[in-house]
A and B are shown apart, each in its own frame.
Chain A
Amino acid sequence: NAGVTQTPKFRVLKTGQSMTLLCAQDMNHEYMYWYRQDPGMGLRLIHYSVGEGTTAKGEVPDGYNVSRLKKQNFLLGLESAAPSQTSVYFCASRTTVRSSYEQYFGPGTRLTVT
């Protein structure tokens, strides 16, 4: 049981380049989330999904797109990277079982946009 995994762990992009971050979970969780973590600002929600084929905007969605084609995977895309998107990105998932609302986090992807 690997929990929540993220690829890649590190990436450096030039302004204007595109990339996709992959999140995978093997816990059969319905809900998945993408957050970014910036110094002094805490974690902020980018997009989330409540099930396969669904996505919704979070707090800071601009410049990002997401897809949830399979229940176990949640992809975060940057179509045209900007230096303001330099951050650490975390994926999380949780079950819908009422007794357990904990979110489980991946190890993060450190992205630098130059």
Chain B
Amino acid sequence: KQEVTQIPAALSVPEGENLVLNCSFTDSAIYNLQWFRQDPGKGLTSLLLIQSSQREQTSGRLNASLDKSSGRSTLYIAASQPGDSATYLCAVRPRGGATNKLIFGTGTLLAVQP
């Protein structure tokens, strides 16, 4: 059974720092991995989607990498800002079985201190 884990559960950094959020998954048979941002009381906003054949995706200050063989993905945030404070979720779309679903991690709560 696919399980997705995110460590740490919470992270606090001063403004301007570069930081890395981690996501690991137990089964490498995936179609893709997606990173989301969730603000308090709000829905999920898609940040980056990496197909299983890709190694990384970049959008602005965000860079996501995927190492399928080791079951790991990282989200790198450069020059963090207070506006980056949110919960970051990763999710994988597994191959086989009911493929029309995402398996989510429980998220990392990020606080960027001004």
Contact = CB atoms under 8 A, between A and B. Distances in A.
Interface of A: 4, 31, 33, 40-45, 48, 50, 56, 58-59, 90, 92, 101-108, 110
B46 A103 contact: yes
Nearest to A99: B51
Contacts of B32: 101
Interface residues of B, number: 24
Chain B interface, DSSP helix/strand/loop, else mixed: strand
Contacts of A106: 43
A103 B101 CA distance: 10
Contacts, number: 55
A41 B107 CA distance: 9
B45 A105 contact: yes
A50 B36 CA distance: 22
Nearest to A103: B102
A58 B91 CA distance: 15
A58 to B, nearest CB: 6
Given A101-B32, A102-B34, A102-B49, A45 B42 contact: no
